Amino acid sequence: MPVLDTVLEAVAELTGYPVDMLEPDLDLEADLSIDSIKRTEIVGELGARLALDTAEADLEALSGARTVAALSALLEAALGSVPAPAEAPAPTLAVDGPRPEITAPQRLLFTEHVLEPVTARPEPGRRVQILGGGDTAVELSALLAEAGIETELVPDGELPAAGEETVVHLTPLDAEGPVLPGAFALYQRVLAAGPRRLLAADRRGAGAPSGLRGFFRTVAREYPETRATLAELPDGASAAEAARALFAELAATEPEPVVLLDQGGGRRAPRLALTPLGSIATSGAGPAGDGAAEAEAAGLDRESVVLLVGGARGITARFARTLAAAARCRLVLFGRTPEPAAAEDPATAGATDRASLRGALLAAKLTTTPAETERRVSAILAEREVRATLAALRELGGEAEYQRVDVTDTEAVGAAVKEVYAQYGRLDGLVYAAGLIEDKLIAEKTPESFARVFTTKADGAAGVLDAVDRLPVSPRFAVLFGSIAAALGNRGQSDYAGANDALEELGRRWSGAERRGLTVHWGPWAASETGGGMVGPELMRSYAARGIKLIDLEEGPLSLLRELAYGAPDEHTVVYTASGW
């Protein structure tokens, strides 16, 4: 059997589409909803069917194929020739497998670990490429020249024509606006050249939130052979002081993705440390353990109004349910899903999952192509989750309403927030969880995709915080839902990690004497009954194989409620995860 036919059969088994509906040039992800995890499973299965030596094959390249035709071509190249037909029937793709442990999350905070001072000097005879930086670039170039190191100065806004072993990016030091997403194309060009050392400099607590910490943590994971470091300098450091600190840092040897530099030569690295809330947090829930005591301690009752942006689906919906049960408060949910009809179309109502929905749509001839079918399936699943969330909130005793609001439309967000305040005369809390995921390795990602993911999360949060700032009375808390990808970095999520990292500074700056801005970086959660925003079956199996634990659906929301009730007002970033990662 030709390789192409074998691939088409495997894809048909996974998706439920008949083979004759699958075109070789269909995009596996965009048209068929086959993400990177599913593609890895397909590659493993195809390796067995085609007798491919997966130990010798480039599995990352195979899993990264965008179309059936591209995957087939890569497999043929790996095989060297088309194999003979298999004697036995090929097994179907596995749908079951080990399940990861599900447990209550642990609480971690960033602490500053003191690093040894740098006593060595950069090695002479090497070339250093300095990107942007103005006066700091001139000062640093002079120090390097004295040490016998030649430099190339590349002005701000220009992409380097060629790479060097050592690249220093100084543009963030004097940037008037946000560095990301605009600098992504520059970093992509630099990293493609394979530098031995990449050092970027930023000013701590100055300018627009950059997201560079999360971005550099991901760079370190995707490019282990490049020692990539973000060096943060004090805001008041002069060009000469910054140059001296960066000159020394070029000789540092620790593989730290983020280093905090002091004017006196001190060096620190932010690292996560297990930091429980204390006994009051574990004893305050009362006999029922339903969060009522925590809700009261956080100042929430039946009259309170909480706005949840991106709150009708995923983990935010789970927190909304906990609020409804614990405080019986008024909940307003903003989301991008259209407000669903009261009842679903009978043609699809009986289909319980994505695969059966595909079959129902095709059987009723409501769609004619895989791409159209996948869009309809995703829309139906989203509407189901919104409908189920609203019904659950009302059954639990909460007063809930839903509005379709696009967080990227600043004017619409401002008007909707103002309307909520006018309706209730108050807004006690804000939870922001809107976001977008388009996972790709840095080398494969387009600047447009990076900007889309980054701005939806970071700019959307800034717009909502600005909107509540204009209210007569501000909420007492604003919780920004981030991701552990920002805290640790994660392959394929440079944009998402950077955007969630930017939330930290947004929340910190919003905080005041009587209000707390808190960014919560969540680890992965277990799947809900609807699965939206949670870990799906394929990723569950992947996590189980890697020993990664998942956050329990009941304990996760209670952990956040305890944080709001008993967390210190000056703690603005916290990580909750069930696994040590």
pLDDT at 535: 58
On the question of pLDDT at 237 being above 80, the answer is yes
Reduced to 3 states (helix: H, G, I; strand: E, B; else coil), residue 551 is strand
User: Which region among 218-227, 530-539, 554-563 has the lowest average model confidence (pLDDT)?
Assistant: 530-539
Q: What is the mean pLDDT of residues 241-245?
A: 95
On the question of pLDDT at 156 being above 80, the answer is yes
Average per-residue pLDDT in the chain?
87
Closest CA to 237 of 260, 271, 208: 260
- In the chain, what percentage of residues exceed pLDDT 70? 88
Task: List the one residue out of 44, 35, 2 whose CA is nearest residue 19.
Answer: 2
In 3-state terms, what secondary structure has residue 80?
coil
Residue 94 has pLDDT above 50, yes or no: no
Spell out the domains of the chain, with CATH numbers in brackets: 3-79 (1.10.1200.10), 116-265 (3.40.50.720), 284-339+401-577 (3.40.50.720)
For the stretch 145-155, pLDDT in tens is 999 999 999 99
Spatial separation of the C-alpha atoms in residues 60 and 83, rounded to whole Å: 22
Q: Which residue has the tokens 């129902």?
A: 360
Please report how the helices 212-222 and 494-510 are oriented relative to each other, as an axis angle in degrees rounded to 10: 160
Helix (H/G/I), strand (E/B), else coil: 2 = coil
Mean pLDDT, range 228-250, rounded to an integer: 94
CB 91 within 8 A of CB 14: no
- pLDDT tens sequence across 321-345: 999 999 999 999 999 888 888 888 8
Banded model confidence at residue 89, pLDDT cuts 50, 70, 90: very low
pLDDT at 87: 40
With cut-offs at 50, 70 and 90, classify the pLDDT of residue 84. Answer: very low
pLDDT-derived band at 160 (thresholds 50, 70, 90) equals confident
Residue scoring higher pLDDT (442 or 11): 442
**273 has which bridge partners?**
109
Q: In 50-129, which residue ranges form alpha helices assigned H by DSSP?
A: 59-63, 68-79
Radius of gyration from C-alpha coordinates of the chain: 26
Q: Label residue 547 left, alpha or beta by phi (over 0 means left) and psi (-120 to 50 means alpha).
A: left
Least confident interval from 54-63, 407-416, 482-491: 54-63
